[in-house]
Amino acid sequence: MKRANVVLLVLGLFLVAGCGQAPPDEPANTTDVVTEEPEPVTEARHDMVYICACGPECDCGAVAVTPGNCDCGTALAAAHLLKVEGNEGVLCTCGGDCSCELDADDPSKCSCGKDVTRVSFEGQGLYYCNCGGSCTCNFITAAPGTCHCGMDLVTS
């Protein structure tokens, strides 16, 4: 009798633990699981401007934050804002993929070797960071807001 109780107890434990259950009819389908790579997040650049590049004889001074044409009909050229001095931008004109900085040894040059270009933001309707003096935040946009340094963007 004791032996029968022990056998029943062991069988009960196997059933409770799941050892005595029949396998499921169909195994879980793991081949249908699709994992998608997340889309890379690209932050909008706030250091790009487009300026008139029609030559030294032109003084239209067009500056925009989107590509287009200036009033003289010439396509605007991509430039990289290096810093702001007052209401004037100091730019490198090496193009849209530029990530240059101002040359530490020669402030008239970009680190890629090109001469820097200066443009006035006055009357352009653009908002830019001007931390005071010579601001190197190089943040410019068409809408009011806050610079990544925390200062309110200004316009002139």
How much is the average pLDDT of 128-140? Answer: 81
Task: Give the domain range for residue 119.
Answer: 45-124
d(CA 80, CA 117): 10
How far, in whole angstroms, is CA 112 from its chain's centroid?
A: 22
Query: Is residue 91 situated within a structural domain?
Result: yes
Say what the pLDDT of residue 8 is: 52
Query: Is residue 8 situated within a structural domain?
Result: no
Q: Which pLDDT tens digit goes with each residue over 52-78?
A: 887 777 777 889 999 999 888 889 999
Say what the pLDDT of residue 6 is: 47
141: confidence class by pLDDT, cuts 50, 70, 90: very high
Residue carrying structure tokens 């989107």: 66
d(CA 154, CA 156): 7
d(CA 91, CA 114): 10
Residue 16 has pLDDT above 80, yes or no: no
Query: Is residue 152 situated within a structural domain?
Result: no
Alpha helices by DSSP H, the chain: 2-17
Query: Is residue 134 situated within a structural domain?
Result: no
What mean pLDDT value characterizes the chain?
Answer: 78
Choice between 46 and 51, residue whose per-residue pLDDT is larger: 51
Give phi and psi for 132, each to the nearest 5.
110, 140
Say what the pLDDT of residue 93 is: 86
If one counts the domains in the chain, the total is 1
Query: Is residue 145 situated within a structural domain?
Result: no
Are residues 70 and 62 in contact, defined by beta-carbon separation less than 8 angstroms?
yes
Say what the pLDDT of residue 34 is: 59
